[in-house]
Each structure stands twice: as structure tokens, then as C-alpha cells.
Structure 1
Amino acid sequence: METPVKKLVSKTLLGLIAPALIACGAYAQDIKERTLKFSFVQPQDSHMGFGAKKFADLVAQKSGNKMKVRLYPNGTLGGDLQTVSALQGGTIEITTLPPSLLVGLNKEYGVFDLPFLFADFKEADAVLDGPVGKRFLEKAPQGLVGLAYWDHGFRNVSNGRKPIAKAEDFQGLKLRVVQTPLMIESFNTLGANAVPLPFTELFTAMETRAVDGQDNPIVAFETNKFHEVQKHLSTTRHVYNPLIVLVSQKAWDGLSADEKQVLSSAAVETRAEQRRASREMEQKAIANIRSKGVTVTEVSPAERARMRERVKPVIDKFTRELGEDVVKPFHMEIEKVRASK
């Protein structure tokens, strides 16, 4: 017969052990054997690949190895926009990409491409991890479910013709840009000839000189071996790109509450480590591409301010189009961070 003391000890132990068991998935009763496809356009050894692998490992751990995430890097299942369509159709379950690529489905996501919005990572993280970022996760376009934000990095311009140290240096350059109106107008206003192309076509376009250059985070420049076709990189840091982790609504609706919790918690828990790895990769990438003969031109804060002044008409135009109610909360959160520095 169990004594009151034994009952108390048993209850206490259960209280301590149960949360740990639930965290590792041992108590998650409603989890089925299933494999989910995770498609992304960057290589496996990139910051995207790092995050996807960490996420897959956590999903396996949390589900007791019942839920498996199979990774498809390098755009093998299609470019970003194709992948979004596949998620909406339910043929691919998961992806990660810059949220501004969703602008064709919800124009408000264009706010993420406003030039020179964030000055540093601290500002970006504060906005994304706060109520503003949460609101954009919750308003993912139809057919998509937003789980978390990871890091893509500040975009920088490269080209095969000349260094870009000041605003005037953009003049006449044919630059591939992300397929969004805001990015197209921004580079055209700087004097470049903006050419919208899917990422999967970019390397060939630079190799054949269909375009002179492009803009991307430095890690993407290195892991995609752009140094083979680009000899100049400039630290313009004109746009900060997070990555939004998306799940197909069709796939999501077929999951149990326990399975949804596995994916949600894995995406959020991956966030800090992915950001750390991505930003460490950026520092190493700068040294690596220099060693491969790329001229890295550091753009001064003063010249960056001049670039921002040049694209101010574009910023103002798209702020009006997006709506003050969309853009103002970003600025308010950024000002809070700046006031605390």
C-alpha cells in the first residue's frame, strides 16, 4: 500500500519528469509517421541549409523520429515563386525565403524591401521578434502558414565591371534584382538598369553577361560561387532580408495539434542558432571571397546616406502605397531600439 509520503514523492517526480517527456515528444500521442519536403534555393552549406538541417533534426527529435523533414536545396524543386505555388497546392510542405517575395500575394510584405530601413541586426531582430513581426506571420497569404523568422542578411551589390563606392557608380550597370516592384524601382532610381530574374537563373545570367551584377547577402555570394563570375562586391547594405519559414496550409490542416506544435517549436528554437551561424558565416565569407580575388569595397556611412537620399522618392511612394498603418509600426519599433542604444 502506497503511503502519503510515497504518493507525494511520486507526484513530485511526475511533475518534474512530465514536462521533459513532453518536450522531447515522448508524451505526444497524436504523431504519425510522415515525411515533409523542405525546399529552398540556396546550397546545403549555406545559412539557409544550416537552418533547414537544424530544423529537421529538431523535428525528428521532438516527434520521436516519426516526422522526417527531407531537404531539397539549390532550388531543385523550383525557384522561390514556384515553391510558394507548390506550397499553396500542397505538393511541397515547407520552405524559407525573404518575406518580400510574397508581395504578389499580399502587397504589405513589400515593407520588408524598403531601402535602408534597418541600420543593423539589433534593429531587425527587435522588430521581427516583437508584435510587428508576429502580425506578419499571422497574415501569411492564403495557402501559407508562417512559423518564424530566420536570418538571410543585409543585401550587398556585386558586379563584374567596376567598384561601387558612391551613389553615382550605379549608373549604367545592368543588375539582376528580386522580382518585386520596389526593388526594381529602387535600382532604376539609383541609375542602374534593373533586370528581374528568378534566383535559379542568376549565375548563368552573370556568366553570359546578360547582366553585370546582382544584390544578395554576402553568404549567398560565397556559397553560390559568384566569385567565379563577379570581381567586385560593395557593402551597400541597402536592404535587410529576414527569412520567413512557411508551411503549406493544406499540409498544416492535415496535422494533429501535437504535430503542429512540433513544427512550430522547432522553427522558433532554430531561430537563435541560425541567426548566429548566418552572421558568423558572413564575417568568414568576406575574408574568403577576398582571398579568391574579389575586390570588396567598403561603402562609407556618408555614401550610404546619399544612396538613401537618392531613393527617398521610391521610399515615399511605396510608403503611400503600402499604407502608413503598415510602415509606421516598423519605424516606431526601430526608434525604440535606437533610443536604447
Structure 2
Amino acid sequence: MGKNLKVGIAGAVIVAVTAVLLLVSFQKNRNEAGFQPEKKGVYTLRFGHNITEDSAMHLAAVKFASLVQERSSGRLMVEIFPNQALGNDNQMVEMARAGELDIVLTPTAKLSTLAPAMQYADLPFLFPDRDDAYALLDGEVGSLLLAQLPAHGLIGATFWENGFKQFTANRPIHGPEDFTGLNIRVMQSQMILDQFKAFGANPVPIDFHQTHQALKDGVVDGQENPLVAIHNMRFHEVQSHLILSNHAYLCYVLSFSKKVYEQLPQDLQGILFSTARELTAFERTETQAREKTFLENIQKSGTEIITLSEAEIARFREATAHISEKYRDVIGEDILAKTEQYLNEQHPQRKQEGFIVGLNADLSLASSQTGLAIKRGMEMAVEEINLAGGIFGKPVRILAMDHAGIAARARQNIKKFGAIPNLLAVVGGQRSPVMLANLALIHEQKMVYLVPWASASEIVKNDHRPNYLFRIAAQDEIAGPVLLKNGLAISPHIGFLLENTAWGGSVRKELSAFLAARGMKPCAVESFDKEQDTMLPQLQRMVQAGARVIVLAAENQEVSTVARDLAKLSSRVSLLLLGGNIGADLEKRWGQNGAPMDVRYVQTFSAAVNMSKKKKEFMERYQSRYHATLLKHDAMVDAAAHSYDLICLLATGVKNSENLAPESIVRALERIPRHEGVVKLYSPPFTEQRHEALSEEDLGVTLFKQ
């Protein structure tokens, strides 16, 4: 063992022992007295972070301490412990959660063990520039991230920064292949590990304060960090090259111990929170201002500085493109959808390359899982189209907008889509009421609108000419009778439980007409409001009225509610689902309170219906691309298959249209003679009189757990 390494280890031991003694002292004081004013209403708060005292972040922390003391008239005193004086990041976070440390600044990646979505800023090449990072983190996206912390004992106030991350190495780096075989120091984060594995490197998690020694001893060959860390920790002194890549953004969350924060008077809470947010701009400006000096000093030290070209960055971006998709479920479709929408609006050039296909769906609330499945089907189709040369030699891109199940927001999105000159079509989501509310606007905009799930018959069966809507889905006019035929085989005593919306009214009309044609009527009809927390009263009244079969027209969340409450009933009834997706909650409710529930639903594509070679290949590709495990009753893949076929049909129609005018695309879609899709062989998919691609023979009723 070399002398320098021994000294380094000895120093580390001294720091660790000091941190333990401080921690024990703090814990002893807090455990003996609890958190309370030391005298006359004065509170002394301890603030820990991992950055050196000559950093912009520490300067901002000092300014924070001064301001809160001034604004509280001395009732708040803040003691700052920089440079891991109290322990490493993980230790300080645990101290704060336990109420043993009051304020903590933590890299977002280190918080991801508690809130996995905090890996967001580590997504490779997510932010085009700092202003975009600030707008997103200070806006709705940042609020969604911070809102996840209270459940873990922290109150997140704001995002401070260390800046964009850069590479250092002992060789020039111009492309992903230059990392092949190198050992690269990383912080403990699965996403960052995956990033360097995508480059062909061997990522090695090492504590931040041990990185310099590891680089010096050759344990690792390179690392990534912002300029402030590279300069202040002197990493450049033991690396021959600094590569300016701006490949990810390192931000810190300033958070308060929830246990401590909630014990403070409300006015002091407000001072802490508002001051932290106010100083965010100061801290960021100070960080940026120092970076020029850092670069000058690094260059003077003899380290060679390489700035990646746009072409080189594009190669890195391509190598890591799969990472955002892999972590989409971890970070949250709502967060990523809002990010993509912001970036497309702020950077119009992203929309000007090739052709655009829009997605106007709920990507954040009750039906977001269906929205995500629809988006995935679109992505799979667009990938194939672009690999085959695009449309007229131009690439096709997806532009997703989240309407969160709100008709007014969907309306705004439609208007935004209508202003895009290279738009081919828009794909809708799950919510029938949202689409029904915007039918007139869709036709005013002359917008080709593709429907992969929303089932209300009136969506496509409308009075508009030309009709711009085309559907591949189990629409109510055929799915309802298919379910009722199955239900009548169980019992003639059928009741309807319907969403209290225009869609619910449409379903009631369709189902009642079917029964009336057979001289029958429902024995009970009940309705419910969206997000109603219990359906037990409606279910009890239906059972008392004699219902032995219940047709439920509901979205995903309400299906789970009904399943939960149905398990509480002593009477056994059969449940026929119309519109909603089978969810994991139904699995949990299965077999509660006695015998398993009799639940049946309509499928158009997935494993419970016919399994052709093309379907099997699609499902295998879906699972591989999205790291998804598909269950037999996973109806999400139906939504993906519907949107996949719609996009493929759109591409065929556009290529055969006289021009790119919406009316011409409509005519071309109506004239496609034959198309082999994954859902079925369409022959033809649409005609001038029929914009519904599926018929009764394409539907199957599946018994859950069959």
C-alpha cells in the first residue's frame, strides 16, 4: 500500500470519527431535550451539505443563515456544516429524516433511494440549456418531484445547482466508443450506471470524497462531475483531459427535516421556505459566474480541454436514448410528458424536422396507464416507419401533450396541434367524455384524429362531413351487445352501473336499446361521479333490486373501486366491464370474502384472444423494448396494438394521398384496400361510409382468471 494512499485512508478515518462524534453529540442533545427553543423562543438549526467552503453553494448557505436570522429577528439561528462534516449524503439524509439534522442539501441522485423519480435530472441530455432546467425544476415538474419527499420525512423547498456534468479521463473522449473498457467513478445510481454501461465503460460507485484518491491511484480511469466539483476537489490534477459534454445536470434539493419543520411556529416555517426559494437564483448565478475561472485554472494546470461537437453529442445521445424509456415508469409518465411538451413548445425546431403525429391523452392522472400504452404503440410504429426511410424521405416524430382527463385542457392542446404546419394527425386517449366535448373543434381544425381506445359510439358515428375521426377500438355499439349476450347467458337480471358523464348516458342508451329489442329492460340503473371513493351504496341497491349481472361502464380507477366494494357483498354477482382497463387491484381483490368474483371483459388483441405469429412478435418486441412483463389479462397491450395499427395505416394513407391536406389524407385512409395489422387483417380497414375498423367478430369476451 503506497504512502499517499495510507495518508488518504488515515485522513478519511479522522473525518469519519469526527463525524460520528458530532452525530452522537447531536443525537444525545435531541434525545434528551427534544426539539425546542433553546431560550426565549430562539431555535438553532443545523444545516449540513457535502460541498467545500469555497463553493457557490456554501456561500448561498451562509447567506441563507444570515437572512433567516435577520428576518426572524434572531429567533432562527443556523449553524452550517459543509464538506461532509456530519457524514456522507446518505447519513445526513437519514439524520434529517430522524429529526437529528434540520436542513440538508442533497444531490437528487442520492435522494432516489427514497424517491426514485429524483433521478430525473440525471437523464442523459435531457435539458438543452440551463434556462430549460430552471423552468422545469422551478415549475410544475419540480413541484411534482418535491411533493414526493414529505412521505419520506423531508420537506423539499427548492433546487440549487452544481451545474451541468462533464467528463474527465486520461485519454481524449470524442464518442461513446472511447469509454470502452475504462473504469469510471460514479455515484451510487442505477441510471448513471446504465449510462456508462451504454458507453462500454465499467462504472464503479465510489464516495465523492474518495474520488480524488481513486483517480490518483488508478483505481478508476475517469469520472463525471460539474466544473465546481472537478476544480474544487482537484480532479483535473490527476486527469489528463476534461471533456465538456453537458450530458446531465447535477442539482441539489434543499430540504428540511419534516419532524423539525412541523414543530416550528408557522411564521418561522414561512421564513425558512421562502428564503430558500429566494436564494435559488443567487446560488445559480454564483455557480455560473465561477465556471469561467474554473476553466481557466484547469487549462493552466495543463489539463487538455475538449468541447464535444454537435455531431459527437448526437452520438452520445443516441447511445443513451433507451435510458429515458427504461426509467419512464420510475420517474413518472406525468413528469416526462410535461417535460417533452415544454421542450417542444420552447424549441420549435424540434417540431420542424419531418412530420409530426400528435398524442392528446391523459398522461398524468386516472387513465395515464392507457395513455402510456397508446404512446408506446405509436413509438413502435414510428420506429419502423423511420427505419424504412420515413414518409417521403422525411422522419416522423411524436409530439405528446397531456390533457390529464380535462376536456378544456384537451381543447387547448388541439388548438396547439392545429398551429403545427407539418402535423399529419393526432391520436386521442382513453376518455370518451373528453373526445365528445371536442368533436366540433376537431372538425373545425380539419384535423385527422385517430381513436385507439375511447369507446363512445358518437365519437366516430357523427354528423360531420368529411368525418376526420377513425377508430380501432371496441366501441360501445358493438362491445355492449357482445357483453350483454354473454351476461344473458348467466342471468336475465341485468343492471347498469354507469359513469355520470355524456359517455355514461351514451352507454345507457346503447345497452337499453339492445335489451328493449328483446322485450327486456334493466332491473336497476345506477350512476357514479368520477373519483367517487365508494360504490357500495349503488351496488347494494342493485343487488336488492335483483341484479345478478352488472354491466360497469367506468374508467380504470373506478373499476378498482367497484372491485373492492364488490368483494364486501355477501351476494355474488357477475361483473361485465365496458371501457375500463383491467388493473392490478382486481388481482388483489380476487377471491376476497369467499369465492372468486366472476369478472368478464372485452378484448380485441391480447393473449386471451387468438395468438397469431404477428401478434406474438409484437408482444415480444413490446416487452423487450419497454422492459414490461405482460400478464394474460393485461389490456394495456390492446391499446398499444390499436395505436400501432392506426399509425401504420396513417403512414400508408399519407403515402397514397394526393397531397398532405387533411381532406386528402381522409380520402386516402378510406381507400386502403387491405392491411395486415397486429390486431387483425383489415380488408379494408375503412371505407367512405365506415370509419370503424373493428366489428363484432373481432371482439372476444374473456373471463378474468380463466
Q: Out of 45, 55, 71, which is 2:64 matched to?
A: 55
Partner SS state of residue 74, structure 1 = coil
What are the superposed Cα offsets for residues 151-209 of structure 1, whole Å, 9 maximum, x if unpaired?
221001112x2121222211111111121100001111111110112212222222222
Aligned residues: 310
Structure 1 CA distance for aligned equivalents of residues 195 and 349 of structure 2: 30
Q: Is the 8 A contact 2:237 2:303 kept in 1?
A: no
CA distance in 2, matches of 1:147, 1:323: 20
Give, in whole Å, the separation in 2 of the partners of 1:318 and 1:306. Answer: 20
The aligned counterpart of 2:167 is 157
Alpha-carbon distance in structure 1 between the residues aligned to 2:95 and 2:329: 32
Task: Rate the CA distance shift 1:251–1:340 in 2: closer, same or farther, 3 A.
Answer: farther
User: Superposed, which structure 2 residues align to 1:130-149 within 5 Å?
Assistant: 130-140=139-149, 141-149=151-159
Equivalent residue for 1:230? 239
SS of residue in 1 equivalent to 2:152: coil
Q: Unaligned regions of 5+ residues in structure 2, if any?
A: 1-39, 351-706
**Partner of residue 289 from structure 1, selected from 294, 298, 302:** 298
One of 48, 57, 69 as aligned partner of 2:78:
69
Match of 2:136 in 1: 127
Deviation at 1:320, TM superposition (A): 4.3
> Cα distance, 1:321 vs. partner?
4.2
Q: Distance in 1 between matches of 2:331 and 2:284?
A: 28
Residue 303 (structure 1) aligns with: 312
- Confirm or deny: 8 A CA contact 1:34 1:67 kept in the other structure: yes
> Higher RCO, 1 or 2 (CA under 8 Å, sep at least 6)?
1
CA distance in 1, matches of 2:142, 2:284: 16
| Partner residue of 1:41 out of 36, 46, 50 | 50
Partners of 1:335 and 1:201 lie apart in 2 by 40
How big is the shift at 1:285?
0.8
Residues of 1 paired with 2:131 and 2:335: CA distance? 21
Secondary structure class of the residue paired with 2:339: helix
Match in the other structure for 2:181? 172
Tell me the distance in 1 between the aligned counterparts of 2:258 and 2:327. Answer: 29
Q: Indicate yes or no: 2:70 matched with 1:79.
A: no
- Paired with 1:276 and 1:106, the residues of 2 have a C-alpha distance of 28
2:254 to 245, 254, 269: 245
Q: Is the 8 A contact 2:141 2:335 kept in 1?
A: no
Q: Does structure 1 conserve the Cα–Cα contact (< 8 Å) formed by 2:196 and 2:202?
A: yes
1:111 matched residue in structure 2: 120
CA distance in 2, matches of 1:59, 1:337: 36
2:196 paired residue number = 187
| CA distance in 1 between partners of 2:221 and 2:131 (Å) | 32
- Say which SS state the counterpart of residue 162 (structure 1) adopts: coil
Residues 1-26 of structure 1, C-alpha deviations (whole Å, 9 max, x = no match): xxxxxxxxxxxxxxxxxxxxxxxxxx
For 2:327, what is the secondary structure of its paired residue?
helix
SS in 1 for 2:185: strand
Shift of 1:325: 2.5
Match for 1:304: what amino acid?
A: I
CA distance in 2, matches of 1:198, 1:334: 34
Structure 1: tracts of 5 or more residues without a match: 1-30
Contact 2:168–2:236 (CA<8 Å) still a contact in 1?
A: no
Residues in 2 aligned to 1:223 and 1:322: alpha-carbon distance in whole angstroms: 31
Does structure 2 retain, via aligned residues, the 8 Å contact 1:98–1:152?
Answer: no
Measured in 2, the distance between the counterparts of 1:314 and 1:271 equals: 29
In 2, Cα distance between equivalents of 1:132 and 1:313: 21
Contact 2:144 2:335 (8 Å CA) reproduced: no
Deviant stretches of 4+, over 4 Å: none
Question: Could you tell me the percent identity over the aligned residues?
Answer: 35
Deviation at 1:232, TM superposition (A): 1.3
Equivalent of 2:111 in 79, 97, 102: 102
Asked if 1 retains the 8 angstrom alpha-carbon contact of 2:187 and 2:205, the reply is yes
Asked whether the 8 Å contact 1:116–1:308 carries over to 2, the reply is yes
Matched residue SS, 1:228: helix
Q: Retained in 2: the 8 A contact 1:42–1:49?
A: yes
Q: TM (normalized to structure 2)?
A: 0.43
Equivalent position amino acid for 1:256 in 2: P
Structure 1 vs Structure 2 CA RMSD: 1.7
Report the residue type matching 2:276 in the other structure: A
Give yes or no for contact 2:198–2:319 (8 Å, CA) kept in 1.
yes
Residue aligned with 1:125, SS: helix
* Contact residue 236 and residue 242 of structure 2 kept, 8 A: no
Q: For 2:205 and 2:322, locate their aligned partners in 1 and report how far apart those are by CA, in whole Å.
A: 21
Return 199-208 or 35-44, whichever deviates more.
199-208
Q: Which residue of 2 aligns with 1:26?
A: none
2 CA distance for matches of 1:188 and 1:80?
A: 24
> Is contact 1:40-1:48 (8 Å) kept?
no
Q: CA deviation at 1:129?
A: 1.4
One-letter amino acid matched to 2:293: K
Q: Which amino acid aligns with 2:253?
A: I
Please name the residue that 2:285 is paired with.
276
One-letter identity of the residue aligned with 2:158: A
Q: How far 1:228 sits from its partner (Å)?
A: 2.5
Aligned equivalents of 1:269, 1:323: Cα separation in 2: 28
| 195, 198, 214: which one aligns with 2:207 | 198
C-alpha distance in 2 between matches for 1:236 and 1:73: 28
- How far the C-alpha of 1:333 sits from its partner, in A, is 2.0
Deviations 1:96-153 (A, max 9, x none): 1222321111222222211110010011011011111122222215110101111221
SS of residue matched to 2:347? helix
Q: Is the 8 A contact 1:126 1:333 kept in 2?
A: no
Q: Would you say the 8 A contact 2:93–2:106 is kept in 1?
A: no
Correspondent of 1:265 among 265, 274, 279:
274
- State the distance in 2 between where 1:325 and 1:269 align: 27
C-alpha distance in 1, partners of 2:341/2:109? 20
- Partners of 2:330 and 2:265 lie apart in 1 by 39
Partner of 1:317: 326
CA deviation string 1:252-275 (max 9, x = no partner): 121110110111111011111111
- Find out whether 1:208 has 2:210 as its counterpart: no
| Distance in 2 separating the partners of 1:91 and 1:109 | 23
